[in-house]
Amino acid sequence: MPLSGPFLQELERIVGAAGLVRTLEGRLVYECDMHTFYKGAPDAVALPRRADEVVEIVKLCRRERVPIVPRGSGTGLIGGAMAPAGGVMIGTNRMDAILEIDLPNRCATVEPGLINLSLTRAVANSGYFFAPDPSSQMVSSIGGNVATNAGGPHCLKYGITTNHVLGLELVTGTGELVRLGGKGAERPGYDLLGAAVGSEGTFGIVTAVTVRLLHVAEAVKTILASFTAIEDASEAVSAIIAAGIVPAALEMLDELMIRAINEGTGAGYPKDAAAVLLIELDGPAAEVEAQGERAARICWERGALEVRVAADVAERALLWKGRKEAAGAVGRLAPTYLLQDAVVPRSKLPAIMRELIAIGARHRVQIANVFHAGDGNLHPLILYDDREPEELERAKAANEDLLRACIEMGGTVTGEHGVGLDKAKNLPLQYAEADLNFMYRLRRAFDPDLIMNPGKLLPSHPACGEGFRPARPRVPDGAWI
Amino acid sequence: MPVAARSIGEALVTIAGRDRVRDDIGSLDAAIVDGLRPRWVVGPASIDELSRVIALAQDAGLAVVPRGTGSSLELGHPPSRVDVVLDLAGLDRVIEYNPDDLTITVQAGMAAGTLAALLAPHRQWLPIDPPGIAARTLGGVTATNASGPLRARFGGLRDLLLGVRFVQPDGVVTWGGSKVVKSVSGYDVPKLMVGALGTLGVLAELTLRLHPLPDSERSWLVPLDRPQAAQDFVARLIDSPLQPSRVELFNDNAARRLLAESGSAGVAVSIGSVADAVRDQGERLGALAKAVDAGVVPLPEGFWSKVSSAMEPPPGWTALHVTSLAGHLADTVDAIGDIVRTAASNADVRLSGCASFGTLRLLMGGASVAEMAAVTTRVRAWVGDVGGSAVIARGPVELRRTVDPWGPVEPGALGLMRALRNEFDPKRVLNPGRYVGGL
């Protein structure tokens, strides 16, 4: 839907010529996020500098019923920050200031476009950090982290983004600027803040975020344990959790991934290992010491081939090197891959790993695994060659089977990446119509005209549509006033 | 519309069975909410029954007040109508517990004490400890977003509730969230249900994140009679590598109630970890206290369960839940002290609170309604200036008619709350009038 001349003039009046992208080549930059499978360029990209500009843009778009797609750094993995129906994209990149660092109250207020790692860098000298650490933290924006409720390797201990957001300033789908939460612990009324984090831009667009800052731990211990069988590694994960140890991170890599990493990065993982566990503990030194020994012992008991403990910062970085470069190293195995993000209950890890091998064999696809084992959050990379359409089909089929298997084991469709366009169709696997309908109605309280990031997060199933009401329970006959 | 052939009472009996629908005067009097006597007390034995009772209530235009043990019925505005009191304590089964997952799914009427007993053999717990926790139902604790000293380390219910099954005001059974520790599939519906006082749906089933019980735990009191000294000490504690589970401030009155003559105002700190780390951190706590010229007094076993009962308001008392900021802890405590001295000079006051978050619990006894109202209004005005709030967590109905028990809500946010309430409960079936803004 091309935008009218007067509409574009109005948009330019709000954000200025420098804040408006209208050319085709300019707009194509914004046609996809890191899930490059889904493409849709916006009809214009507005780059506001202030919240009042965002308010004006939303009001303008609402008046003209033009869809709005919020976007931070575009590093999402779900087809969230792209415009399948065109419309106006609002990029937050020019709103990247740190508004306040309030150490006495251990919080900071920032604009949404601020890069995640920039905040930690700004407070590191004072001994603080911002806990959510998605792998993209060097480039992803805090607004984007809020929109997707991003996780990361260390969320096993520290929780995901929602556990660290104290307040939001949000421009809703009606163009109203509302403040949800604040520096204090909680306020009377519904936890709209909790509902808004992870709403993927479908409630509105965030113009300021107040986040909690944490004090850095005294000691960190990183352990690398390798195993000859993935079942043994999976069982070691379960045993570590069952022993009452909550590591900061507990990551697993499988055989295929180890091979790719060894060839690609020289991280030097043991060659004959079928699985590698990366265990990181942090906290008071005495606790880390005791729990580190216990975790290492558990690994040995489960038949570990080798258990390495990083002696210093450099060794720690080396142990992490392979994990951090995993996604890139996979390029050595296949031109491209589908990335999965489902979660299973932790005790089901050994079972899902067996199932995963079976699914790979059934659909004749290679599946490499690198994932957050501690919380059961899988990240299988289903490899395929995009020059072979038939390979893509097999990869997709394996993907569907895998999702189903995870749900059947009591899991969830996405653990930390989000739903976006990519997984909206999968939500009915996990939720009944009544559940989806509740979410749909929740969304409408924030965005009654459904202009905010339409088509994302919720399936466009008729069951979610206007006027749909799930069947009510039967009331006894004649029970009327 | 069919003509009424039977009474609503008979319909309720059809749904829940005669034993679980009470309409005798004794039962109804025992279930009075803020002076309003219900017409029925219904105790559904299953989620299906619960759902059908609520659907019937909506059709028949009845007002429903859900209750667990009834400990928080003095929270919020007096309801505008009460026809059915839903007694949910019968929904107390475990649905699913696999200790290795560190999660559990239970029905919402289960008492927190029952859950604790169930988890203890597996060395696990749900770290949530508002006053009187053992007897309270998990649904009640969730619906009222109650918290206690442990929030210093573990946060509140919003950080522990992973999934929730609830019955919407039209009777539709709905699920939100997931049963695993990490999920971003769809909106975070569980958070919306925490502290919603059942106004968007009656909680029926909860999936909770559990934590491992520490190997060892010890607690100390750092006596500090000046609030500023307490704030300084807490700031040092948070800036240190120590990982306390509780950082609870007590005023003189509260401390004496807990520790008799040896009690004095100060900050009680507990550390849970492996034994070596507890010992080590205890020593370092001593050093931190010394830096502010204070000592440490080891606290006896059972101290925290005493806190749980001592901070429950006795009948006729009022509990005010004050949210301030850690950086304003001393100002806030001083301001509360001044306000009570001038506005309710004869009141008996116990004060405690999570010092690292700046949340305080103020218990007031021996004061008139007018005095308590004045304290509430003035404390609210003071913390309002630092973005805080003061909610009457429990108090006599006359007080809650005199002052808004919730206090102001930011207009934009209140507009959204009203939109949600109108969307999901336009007929005001659930807790009519009790919630913020009279919703």
Residue with tokens 């519904």: A190
- The predicted pLDDT at position A478 comes to 53
Residues of A in contact with B192 (CB under 8 A): 190-192, 194-195, 442
Q: Which amino acid is at B350?
A: R
Q: Strand B40-42 to strand B84-87: parallel, antiparallel, or no bridges (unpaired)?
A: parallel
Q: Please report which confidence band the pLDDT of residue A325 belongs to, taking 50, 70 and 90 as the band edges.
A: confident
Per-residue b/e over A427-458, b at no fewer than 16 CB within 10 Å?
Answer: bbbbbebbbbbbbbbbbbbbbeebbbbbbbbb
- The predicted pLDDT at position A266 comes to 76
Q: Which CATH number fits domain A5-91: 2.60.120.10, 3.40.1190.10, 3.30.43.10, 3.40.190.10?
A: 3.30.43.10
A218–B contact, CB cutoff 8 A: yes
Nearest to A147 by CA among A371, A379, A417: A417
Q: What is the DSSP letter of B33?
A: B
Q: Please report which confidence band the pLDDT of residue A1 belongs to, taking 50, 70 and 90 as the band edges.
A: low
Q: What is the DSSP letter of A140?
A: -
Q: Which two tokens stand for residue B381?
A: 């005005």
CATH architecture of A98-215: 2-Layer Sandwich (3.30)
The model's pLDDT over A452-466, given as tens digits with 9 standing for 90+, comes to: 999 999 997 544 444
The model's pLDDT over B355-365, given as tens digits with 9 standing for 90+, comes to: 999 999 999 99
Give the separation between CA B117 and CA B92, rounded to whole angstroms.
14
Most confident of A1-10, A240-249, A336-345, B51-60: B51-60
- The predicted pLDDT at position B6 comes to 63
Domain boundary among B48, B74, B89: B89
Query: Cβ of A423 and B15 within 8 Å?
Result: no
Note whether residue B412 is domain-resident: no
Note whether residue B427 is domain-resident: no
Note the Cα A468 to chain centre separation in Å. 30
Same domain, B128 and B202: yes
| Mean pLDDT over each residue of chain B, to the nearest integer | 95
Residues of B in contact with A438 (CB under 8 A): 168, 174, 176, 189, 424
- Higher-confidence residue: A185 or A274? A274
Same domain, B200 and B185: yes
Give the separation between CA B80 and CA B88, rounded to whole angstroms.
21
B169–A contact, CB cutoff 8 A: no
Q: Count of alpha carbons within 13 Å of B373, Cβ hemisphere only?
A: 12
Our CA angle for A236, A238, A241, nearest 5°, is 105
> Are B430 and B169 in contact, with CB atoms under 8 Å apart?
yes
> Are A342 and A381 in contact, with CB atoms under 8 Å apart?
no
Same domain, B350 and B376: yes
- The predicted pLDDT at position A463 comes to 45
Same domain, B99 and B25: no
- The predicted pLDDT at position B5 comes to 42
Mean pLDDT for B246-270 is 93
- The predicted pLDDT at position A48 comes to 98
Note whether residue B436 is domain-resident: no
* B338–chain A nearest CA distance, Å: 22
**B48, B59, B183: residue with CB nearest A480:** B59
Give the separation between CA A447 and CA A68, rounded to whole angstroms.
11
Q: Helix (H, G, I), strand (E, B), or coil: what is residue B46?
A: coil
> Are A111 and A97 in contact, with CB atoms under 8 Å apart?
yes
> Are B87 and B66 in contact, with CB atoms under 8 Å apart?
no
The model's pLDDT over B335-362, given as tens digits with 9 standing for 90+, comes to: 999 999 999 999 999 999 999 999 999 9
Give the separation between CA A81 and CA A74, rounded to whole angstroms.
6
Note whether residue B101 is domain-resident: yes
If contacts are CB pairs under 8 Å, which of residues 306-345 in chain B contact chain A? 323-327
Same domain, B61 and B71: yes
pLDDT at A199 over 60: yes
Note whether residue B62 is domain-resident: yes
Q: Count of alpha carbons within 13 Å of A190, Cβ hemisphere only?
A: 26
Q: Please report which confidence band the pLDDT of residue A318 belongs to, taking 50, 70 and 90 as the band edges.
A: confident
Give the separation between CA B419 and CA B427, rounded to whole angstroms.
13
- Which region among A154-168, A262-276, B283-297 has the lowest average model confidence (pLDDT)? A262-276
Domain ranges of chain A: 5-91, 98-215, 217-332, 334-418, 433-464
If contacts are CB pairs under 8 Å, which of residues 108-137 in chain B contact chain A? 123
pLDDT at A64 over 60: yes
A178–B contact, CB cutoff 8 A: yes
Residues of B in contact with A415 (CB under 8 A): 180, 182-184
- The predicted pLDDT at position A332 comes to 85
CATH architecture of A217-332: 2-Layer Sandwich (3.30)
Domain boundary among B185, B212, B239: B212
- The CATH number assigned to the domain holding B350 equals 3.30.70.2740
Contacts of A466 (CB under 8 A, 6+ apart): none
Tell me the residue range of the domain where B65 lies. Answer: 8-89
Looking at chain B, the whole-number percentage of residues with pLDDT higher than 70 is 99
Give the phi and the psi of residue A137 in degrees, each rounded to 5: -60, -20
| Mean pLDDT over each residue of chain A, to the nearest integer | 92
Q: Helix (H, G, I), strand (E, B), or coil: what is residue A481?
A: coil
Give the separation between CA A325 and CA A416, rounded to whole angstroms.
19
Domain boundary among B197, B212, B227: B212
Note whether residue B411 is domain-resident: no
Q: Do A5-91 and A217-332 share a fold?
A: no
Residue with tokens 């505005």: B77
Query: Cβ of A187 and B358 within 8 Å?
Result: no
ipTM: 0.96
pLDDT at A479 over 50: no
Same domain, B159 and B247: no
Same domain, B53 and B68: yes
- The CATH number assigned to the domain holding B279 equals 3.30.70.2190
CATH class, domain A334-418, is: alpha beta
pLDDT at B399 over 80: yes
Same domain, B132 and B205: yes
Same domain, B20 and B59: yes
Note whether residue B439 is domain-resident: no
Contacts of A365 (CB under 8 A, 6+ apart): A382, A383, A384, A391, A394, A395, A398
* A361–chain B nearest CA distance, Å: 27
- The CATH number assigned to the domain holding B153 equals 3.30.465.10
Mean pLDDT for B18-47 is 97
Give the separation between CA B206 and CA B143, rounded to whole angstroms.
11
Measured between alpha carbons, how far is residue B387 from residues A127, A209, B248 in Å?
Answer: 26, 15, 21
Note whether residue B415 is domain-resident: no
Least CA distance to A288: which residue of chain B?
A: B277
* Domain count of the fold of chain B: 4
Give the separation between CA B270 and CA B283, rounded to whole angstroms.
13
B51–A contact, CB cutoff 8 A: yes
Residue with tokens 């008619």: B401
* A295–chain B nearest CA distance, Å: 13
A137–B contact, CB cutoff 8 A: no
